[in-house]
Amino acid sequence: MPGARDQQVTVRLLPDGEAHSAVLSGPNGHLLRVDFSPVPPGTNLKSGDLVEITSPGTLYLGEVRSSHDQAVIVGIEHSLDREALALIRQVWHGPSGR
């Protein structure tokens, strides 16, 4: 996960949670640290929660491993290049994007 340090991201609880802004503080193997500042009201991510983290170039899917104050550690199960996803979507849905 190179280049992921200190990026603005959105974090969303799966399957249908609201997206919240955060900062991706950096990878450590397959773990990402996400910092909220401040933690949005009603956001109570806990161990075992499944989340989607969207950065400018990558979509991460993972599981919350721990949370402390304004930081959450997420174990990444999948990371997908957003440019490649856009190309797949274009092929799948055709030029209209539907």
Decide if 26 is inside a domain.
yes
Q: What is the CATH number of the domain that holds 58?
A: 2.30.110
Stronger pLDDT, 49 or 39, i.e. the higher one = 49
Q: 2 in a domain, yes or no?
A: no
| CA distance between the termini of the chain | 31
Q: How many domains does the chain have?
A: 1
Report the C-alpha gap between 98 and 91 in whole angstroms: 11
The per-residue pLDDT for 38 is 81
Tell me the one-letter amino acid at 16: D
CA-nearest of 64, 34, 32 to 48 is 64
User: What is the model's pLDDT at position 81?
Assistant: 93
| Within-domain flag for 86 | yes
Q: 78 is in which domain, residue-wise?
A: 7-93
Element (H, E) at 26: strand 19-28
> Has residue 98 been placed in a domain?
no
**pTM of this structure:** 0.81
Q: Is 43 a residue whose pLDDT tops 60?
A: yes
Q: Where are the beta strands (DSSP E) in 29-57?
A: 31-35, 50-54
